[in-house]
Structure formats: structure tokens, C-alpha cells
Chain A
Amino acid sequence: MRPKHKSVETKYMQERQAFYDDLKKLDRRSFLKVSAAAFGAVAAQGLLPPNSFQPVNLAYGASAAGESESFRFAYISDSHLYEKDINDRFAVSLMRAVDDVNSLDPQPDFVFYGGDLAQLGQPKELDLGAAILKNLKAPLKIMVGEHDWFLDMGEKWRALFGEPTESWDHKGVHFVKLLSVIEEDFWTARGMTPMERMKTVAGLDNGVQRPFTVGAEQREWLKKDLAGLADEAPLVVFSHSPLYKLYKNWNFWTDDADEVQAILKRFKNVTVIHGHTHQMLTNRIGNIHFHGLLATAWPWPYAPEGMPELTIEMTRPDPFNPQDGCGDGEVAVYADGLVDKIHSFWNRNPVTVGRKYTLSWGKEAVPPRPNRPSY
């Protein structure tokens, strides 16, 4: 029995569906007209959300090689979980990020977790993180951060998530995940307990710890892993610390970054995506385009010196809103291996740092600038 009268909601939903169905039937010219109108309406409100209303993300058919987005993955990073009964604030934030990612439609091809799932590497913290991340609908790829590692040097992390270094191919793009937070032994000579070692590394400004490195062993592995790839092959590298030298005092730094960059030099385009810095951070060194991830736990201030020119800083976060400056996001990967980096802030309009922006050395597609600079 079909109901005689349709409810207002049903009518609205049917009209909406019909509208979308018609949209798909549009020829290219009419489509551009409609989408430009939508884009204009959105732009008039001062909003440029990276959702499907933006024409660049809806574009049908590739115009030139590398000009269209081939797939997306979502990201979540730096949750710094404590055990639930010590502090549940960070767990709540991670759950929010998982909800965000699960509500993406269409779903991303996979979800990348950028490291620092735990705050002090405790088994209970990592277990809690694993339990929350289990709710993700899309497959998970996860990287190590220093907070996950220095209590038991990765024993629990490996048991939960497997190898800290790996590579895989997805839709023609080669992905590499590195363990970039290896530190020279500073603890044995000082007779530190594992917990003292962990707490030392967990202090961002703690000068007793050593700089992060990828290390000779992984660099050899990386060379071999990339050996079979052509110079034009699209390549995305994940590292927890930025794979360049930004600010040593806070380990916004990888000590053997130059050596790693040398291995990546022969490729036409390389994208490096890193966690650790908890902020919008963009850099380009030659062929390598670097993008930082937002954290779910808290935002870091910008480094007092050495900021890359391409970085458009995010407006200084509001301390009275504990989730301001935090968030998660999406990465739209193009056929040439470069990406649109979409920062989905929880308390602000989203910001896209596009492939065009880094490709043009910051001349085109410039993201909105902050009104409150970082101190």
C-alpha cells in the first residue's frame, strides 16, 4: 500500500534526488554553468568548502594527464591518548574524527593515521586507540609517532599494527610509510627507566632527547623499494616528522632529511605527508611537496624561526575552545602523485592547500590567510 499523501520531507528528498539525477545528465557546457553558479553562490558567502559542490572536485573526465583527481584518502593524526580514567578528552576527540571520516560520502579509499596515537606509549593507551580506530569503515593505514614508541621501543605497537615501515601501490600511486622518529641512545648512559625515556621524548621542548632520524637501515630499504620505479612514477611518502629541517628544538626536524631527499630527487613529483607539527604546514623543496597534518589532540604554535615560505599559517587557535585548531581531513591524490590537501577544521571553515598552489610555487590557488598570526 503506497501512502496517498507524501510528507513534506519525502517530497523534498525526491525533488532533491531528481535535481541530482538531472545534474548527471547535463552536457559539459551546462554542467560548468550550473557548477559555476553554485561555486559563485558559495564564494559569495565567503565559504569555499572542499565538498562536492566545488567544481574542481566534480569535474568529469580528465582534460590533461594529472589534471584530475584520481582518488581520495582521509587522514587522522596525533591524538595523544591517555588511558580513559586519567583523561578522556583526547579519546573523545579521536572518536569525533572517526565519526567525521565515517560520514564522508563517498567513502575514502583508505584512512591514514599519522602517528602519536598514544601520549606515553602505554599498552592501555594504544589498545584504546586501536579500539576507537576499529570503528572506521574504510581500511586503515597507520604510522608510528615518537609517543607510540619510546616506552617499549615499539613492541606493543607492532603487536597491534604490524610493521612500522612498509610500501604499497594503490591505483597506480606508490605509497611509502617510514619510521622517521628513531633517536640515538641518550637513555642508557643516564640510567633512565623506560618511563623516564618515554617522558623525555614526550616533551616537545625537552633538550635531553636527540634529533629524529630515518636511519641508514631504512634509507637502504627505501632505495631498494624505489629501485623498480620510473622517474615519472607518482610517489607519496609518509613520515611522522617533517622530512626536512625546520626547527630543531622541537624536533620539527629529521636529522638525515638531506640523505632521504637525495633518494627522492630523481622523481618528477614526490608528495611527503607528515604528522607531528599539529598545524597547517606547507613546504616545497625542488620536486618534493610537503604537507603537515592537523592533530585531533591540540594545535602547536608555529616554530619561532625557519618557517617555509609556502606555509600559510592557520589563525592562532582560541584557547577557550579546546578543539579549535584541531581537526582531520582528506587528501585528493592526482595521477601525477601530487595532492590537494584538505584540512577539515572542527571549529572553522575548511582550508584546501591545493596541488596548484605548491606546483605554482604559491602563485596560484592561494589559500586564505590568517587574521591572527601565531606568536
Chain B
Amino acid sequence: MPTRIRNVLLASVCVICAVVVWVAYDHSVAADCAAGAHLTSATGGKDLADAHMEQWKRTNPQRVKDWVAEEKERHAIMPPADNSHLLKGEQGESHSYGRFTERDILIWAREAEKMVVEGSRIFHDGDALGSTVAVSCDMCHPDGSNTHPETYPKFQTQLGRVVLLRDMINWCIENPVRGKRFEPDDAKMRALEAYIYAQRKGTPLEYGKH
């Protein structure tokens, strides 16, 4: 008996809490929307999502900073390829792989660029690279110059073996930068590779070149 009463009581408390939380939350969103003055009873999900986003931005001002725009202002970054030609032609309408919208193209460009921009941020930051001697990549390679990613794989005479770009990135991290090497699939390594390749946009691949 006491167990059953306890369970019932617990269940009611949970329900009451849930209702209170839901009501409070709903009110705060409603208040936000009222402040934004664009949530009417007839609006769809996008407005609701925007309202939530606005609320999150207000409560997390330090995380609102547009780090992508900031990094792009500091350092010249090659833009990703323009894919707008995919919107042309009639065949695209008839199969899923060929049918794209402007939104698709925007997302691809933005996401690809974001990885490159993150690479630029790490490339220019000794702390992000884990340097123990305050050295970052840009000190010898401004704008990613003289990294010649298009020449890998190649026989690296000083190492006596064939290397990839990521081997040379790790060599630099361990030697002039005096940090700890990244695993090949480390997010930072992937971003660094992305930045270095992006900066050589337009250069023909020429593996093995010295």
C-alpha cells in the first residue's frame, strides 16, 4: 500500500513539474515572440525556430560572435567553387541526384568554407596547435604559402620516404612548432589540411614534384 501511494504521489509530482516547466517555457517564448512581434497564431515552424534562436542568442551573447566572419576578416581565404551552374539544365528535374536548389548550393559552400576557416584559425594560432614555443604555421607560411600541397605524395629527401601532406604538417608541429603530433583523423588535422588545400585552389596537382 505505501509503495502504491508513493508511486502515485511521485507520478503526480512529475506531471505537475512538467506542466509548470512547459507553461513557464511557453510563456517565455511567447514573451520573446511578442517582443520580436512576428509570431502570430498563423505562423509556421520557421518563425518559431527563429524565435527560439533569438532567445538563445540573447542568453548566450558570448557565443553569438560570428567566428567565421571574424576569421575571414583577419585572413584572406580562398572561396569554395561556385556550383550555381547545377541549377541550369532540364534533366536535373527528373532524378534526385541532379535536382538541387539554391539552398543546397548555399549549404555546401558555407559548410565547406567553415571547415577551411577553422583550419585557418588553427594555422594562425600557436596555442591551438599546441606549440610550447609560441610558434604558429603562418610565421613561415603566410596565407598558407610555400606549403605546396599539390606536390604530395612525394619522396621527402630529408626523411628518406614517401610522405603525404599530413606527414609534413605533423613534422612541422613536432619540430619548429614543438607540439604533439595530431592523429591523422584528428579534427584539427582535417581542418589544417582543408585550409592548406583550399589556399592552393587553381594549382594543378603535380605529385612527386620537388
Residues on A facing B (Cβ under 8 Å): 82, 86-87, 89, 119, 200, 203-208, 249-250, 298-301, 304, 316, 318-320, 322, 372, 374-375
Contacts and interface: CB of A to CB of B under 8 A. Distances in A.
A298 B158 contact: no
B135 interface: yes
Given A86-B134, A89-B133, A316 B74 contact: no
A203 B124 contact: yes
B76 interface: yes
Nearest to A374: B146
A204 B138 contact: yes
B81 interface: no
Interface in B111-145: 124, 133-135, 138-143, 145
A208 to B, nearest CB: 5
Interface string B163-194: 00000000110011000000000000000000
Contacts of A301: 140-142, 145-146
B107 to A, nearest CB: 26
A87 B133 contact: yes
Contacts of B74: 200, 203, 206-208
A124 to B, nearest CB: 13
Nearest to A119: B134
A229 B175 CA distance: 52
B148 A375 contact: yes
Interface of B: 73-76, 124, 133-135, 138-143, 145-148, 158, 171-172, 175-176, 210
A205 to B, nearest CB: 4
A318 B158 contact: yes
B176 to A, nearest CB: 6
Main secondary structure of the interface of A (DSSP, over half): loop
Contacts of B73: 207-208
B143 A316 contact: no
Contacts of A374: 146
A154 B175 CA distance: 33
Given A206-B74, A206-B75, A318-B158, A300 B142 contact: yes
B210 A372 contact: yes
Contacts of B146: 301, 316, 374-375
A325 to B, nearest CB: 10
A375 to B, nearest CB: 5
Nearest to B158: A320
Contacts of A299: 140
Q: In terms of DSSP, what is the predominant structure of the interface of chain B?
A: loop
A119 B133 CA distance: 12
A331 to B, nearest CB: 26
Contacts of A87: 133-135
A372 to B, nearest CB: 7
Nearest to A297: B139
B172 A319 contact: yes
Contacts of B147: 375
A30 B116 CA distance: 67
A68 B59 CA distance: 75
30 contacts: A82-B133, A86-B133, A87-B133, A87-B134, A203-B74, A203-B75, A204-B138, A205-B75, A205-B124, A205-B142, A206-B75, A207-B73, A207-B75, A249-B142, A249-B143, A250-B142, A250-B143, A298-B139, A300-B140, A304-B143, A316-B146, A318-B158, A319-B171, A319-B172, A319-B176, A320-B158, A322-B175, A374-B146, A375-B145, A375-B146
A318 B168 CA distance: 13
A104 B57 CA distance: 65
Nearest to A202: B139
Contacts of A82: 133-134
Contacts of A322: 175-176
Contacts of A119: 134
A249 B76 CA distance: 8
Shortest 4 CB-CB distances between A and B: which pairs?
A301-B146, A205-B142, A87-B133, A320-B158
A203 B141 CA distance: 11
Contacts of A298: 139-140
A344 B139 CA distance: 22
A250 B146 CA distance: 14
Contacts of B175: 320, 322
B140 to A, nearest CB: 5
A203 B138 contact: yes
A203 B139 CA distance: 8
Nearest to A200: B74
Contact of A205 (B134, B138, B172): B138
B209 to A, nearest CB: 10
A299 B140 CA distance: 7
Nearest to B210: A372
Given A204-B142, A320-B158, 9 more contacts: A87-B133, A119-B134, A205-B142, A206-B74, A207-B73, A299-B140, A301-B145, A301-B146, A322-B176
A204 B134 CA distance: 15
Contacts of B133: 82, 86-87, 89
Contacts of A300: 140, 142
A33 B19 CA distance: 106
